[in-house]
Amino acid sequence: MLTTSEIGLIKATVPILREHGVLLTKHFYQRMFDHNPELKHIFNMGNQKNGTQQTALALAVLAYAENIENPSVLLPVLQRIGDKHTSLQISADQYDIVGRHLLASISEVLGEAATEELITAWAKAYGQLADIMINLEKSIYLQKAAVPGAWSGWRKFVIDRKVKESDEISSFYLRPQDGLEVALHQPGQYLSIKVYIPSLDLYQPRQYSISSAPDQHYYRISVKKEAGNQNKEEGTVSNHLHNVLQEGDVLEVSTPAGDFVLNTDQSSPLVLLSGGVGQTPFVSIMDFLSAADQQRQVRWAHACRSENVHAFRDQIKAWDEEHDWFKHIVFYENAAQEDKNIRSGRLDVAEITEMVLIPEADYYLCGPKPFIEKTILDLAALGVDRKKLFFEEFGPQTIHTN
Ligand SMILES: Cc1cc2nc3c(=O)[nH]c(=O)nc-3n(C[C@H](O)[C@H](O)[C@H](O)COP(=O)(O)OP(=O)(O)OC[C@H]3O[C@@H](n4cnc5c(N)ncnc54)[C@H](O)[C@@H]3O)c2cc1C
């Protein structure tokens, strides 16, 4: 238990964390990878390069310091972090390594301001958080192990089929190499995959939402090829999947994870709002609902640059024609032609209130960070209750709605 004076010391670091948190986390990751380079196989080095991981950790440390008297308010966020950690096979002993480098980094970055008392307080605070996470992750590992067909660790999957879905998105049908059953995922969940990248001489993990309905024989993921430009390098794993890996090749996969899932125990209407490749969990949800042919009302508004990058276009149109409980609309930045399902411009929920304002609906959002942030605000302005909003960020958690 932290003493009152230790809590005071932690709270006194809040302004510093708010201003210099990213400086601290950059230093921390650099230090940890210098001393423990084996962890580069576990961490997403792309998120290190583009800085999102450092930002996410800085926000998490700040949130923890701000809520040090009652860290249980952070449980929903910690649950998501725990889900990601378990899908990456993080073990309890790795918390010791992280803790050691984090405390050393606080000392090195704060210099003389890092008194012995402050470091002791942060050591206790970190220990408390590590205990919460280790216990949480232990229970997630146990829950996952109880699902029929689930597995622990990494399991080898063969790329059974590779299918082009649009100019930049391809699907990969993954079947377990051992030929045994796989766990039925909950529509909306993702897989962590691990591939060896020769140019880095590293294994690299990434998450991909499952884009197919639950099936005991295979999973499908649909991956956008992240192009580079003069300001950023091309994406490592997505380009490896698109350019190098072929049908018959093998990659490693951990059991399905994530809490951005369809609430199958309810019959409330659903409003799905997606941008770009953020459509993938909704393809799984729709594939599932379509096969079940239930009567739950579903409205799906999607935005992407153009028809050429709009994956699963024909499938979504077919669902629209087949089911009177399903309606969809898509926004292309410059649509060549508009009709009842196609609009030109950006997705703005205020322009399609007849489609999105449905009593009792649950709202699922997935897409680029600015899209999610704007849509959350726009829905709130339209009076939608934040408790009815669920979202998935395709990267480290940096959006906080409270
Ligand atoms: C829960 C979840 C579900 C996901 N589902 C999907 C999905 O269904 N489909 C999908 O395609 N993706 C999905 N993603 C995203 C996916 O995990 C990867 O992040 C994505 O494929 C990019 O990985 P990469 O290795 O190709 O790019 P990385 O190498 O990781 O690079 C990431 C980005 O950083 C940029 N970058 C690289 N170097 C720099 C630099 N020096 N400075 C600035 N920027 C730089 C790259 O151009 C790229 O845009 C999901 C992510 C999560 C967390």
Residue at 54 is within a domain: yes
Query: Could you tell me if 109 and 160 lie in one domain?
Result: no
Cα separation, 91 vs 333, in Å, equals: 44
Taking the CA of residue 260 as reference, the ligand 1 atom at the shortest distance is 1
Check if the beta carbon of residue 56 is closer than 8 Å to that of residue 398: yes
**Residue 229 DSSP class:** B
Do 136 and 8 lie in one domain? The reply is yes
How far is ligand 1, taken at its centre, from the CA of residue 358, in Å?
33
The CATH number for 109's domain is 1.10.490.10
Angle, helices 4-12/116-145, rounded to nearest 10 degrees: 90
- The answer on 241 and 353 residing in a single domain is no
**Catalytic-labelled residue, pool 6, 137, 165, 393:** 137
- Confirm if 192 and 264 have CB atoms less than 8 A apart: no
Are the C-beta atoms of 157 and 333 separated by less than 8 Å?
no
- CATH code at position 191: 2.40.30.10
Which residue, by CA, sits nearest to atom 52 of ligand 1? 394
Degrees, nearest 5: CA angle 169-174-175: 165
235 close to ligand 1 (CB < 6 Angstrom): yes
Final residue before a domain boundary, out of 145, 178, 193: 145
Span from the CA of 195 to the centroid of ligand 1 (angstroms): 14
Same domain, 90 and 161: no
Q: Residue 381, Cβ neighbours under 10 Å: how many?
A: 10
Looking at the domain assignment, is residue 265 inside a domain? no
Overall domain count for the chain: 3
Which ligand 1 atom is the nearest neighbour of the CA of 396?
53
Domain range spanning residue 209?
Answer: 155-253
| 150 within ligand 1 shell (Cβ under 6 A) | no
User: Is residue 117 situated within a structural domain?
Assistant: yes
**Ligand 1 mean position, distance from CA 235 (Å):** 6
The answer to whether residue 66 is catalytic is no
155-164: strand order across its sheet:
202-209, 190-197, 250-253, 155-164, 169-176, 219-224
Is the distance from the beta carbon of residue 190 to the nearest atom of ligand 1 less than 6 Å?
Answer: yes
User: Could you tell me if 177 and 300 lie in one domain?
Assistant: no
**How open is the CA angle 139-254-272, to the nearest 5 degrees?**
85
| Composition of the chain by helix, strand, coil, percent to 5 | 45, 20, 35
pLDDT score recorded for residue 298: 98
- 47 CA to middle of ligand 1, Å? 7
Residues 18 and 106 in one domain: yes
> Out of 95, 126, 173, 208, which one is annotated catalytic?
95
pLDDT digit of tens for each residue in the chain (402 aa)? 899 999 999 999 999 999 999 999 999 999 999 999 999 999 999 999 999 999 999 999 999 999 999 999 999 999 999 999 999 999 999 999 999 999 999 999 999 999 999 999 999 999 999 999 999 999 999 999 999 999 999 999 999 999 999 999 999 999 999 999 999 999 999 999 999 999 999 999 999 999 999 999 999 999 999 999 999 999 999 999 999 999 999 999 999 999 999 999 999 999 999 999 999 999 999 999 999 978 899 999 999 999 999 999 999 999 999 999 999 999 999 898 889 899 999 999 999 999 999 999 999 999 999 999 999 999 999 999 999 999 999 988 887 764
pLDDT at position 401, please? 62
Closest CA to 303 of 327, 338, 273, 280: 273
- Assess whether 33 and 117 both reside in one domain: yes
| Angle at CA of residue 230, ends 227 and 231, nearest 5° | 85
Q: Is the CB of 277 under 6 A from ligand 1?
A: yes
Q: How many residues does the chain have?
A: 402
- Residue whose tokens read 């940096």: 398
Report which of 189, 174, 177, 185 is spatially closest to residue 147, judged by C-alpha positions. 185
Residue 398's pLDDT is what? 84
pLDDT of res. 396 = 87
Residue 262 counted as domain residue: no
Note the ipTM here: 0.97
Q: Please confirm, yes or no, whether 69 is among the known catalytic residues.
A: no
Is 53 inside a domain boundary? yes
CATH at 327: 3.40.50.80
Residues 226 and 241: beta-carbon distance below 8 Å: no
Would 399 be classed as within a structural domain? no
N-term to C-term CA, the chain: 27
Mutate to test the pocket of ligand 1, among 42, 48, 50, 372 (most ligand atoms within 8 A of CB): 50
259 lies in some domain: no
Q: At what angle do helices 4-12 and 14-35 cross, to 10 degrees?
A: 90
Q: Facing residues of 272 across strands?
A: 300, 364
Alpha carbon nearest to ligand 1 atom 18, residue: 206
Q: Whose CA is nearest to atom 48 of ligand 1?
A: 235
In this structure, the answer to whether residues 129 and 245 fall within a common structural domain is: no
**Which of 190, 218, 253 is the last residue before a domain boundary?**
253
Given 253, 285, 304, the domain boundary residue is 253
Phi/psi of residue 260, nearest 5 degrees? -85, 75
- Give the chain's count of helices (H) and strands (E): 12, 12
Query: In 3-state terms, what secondary structure has residue 389?
Result: strand
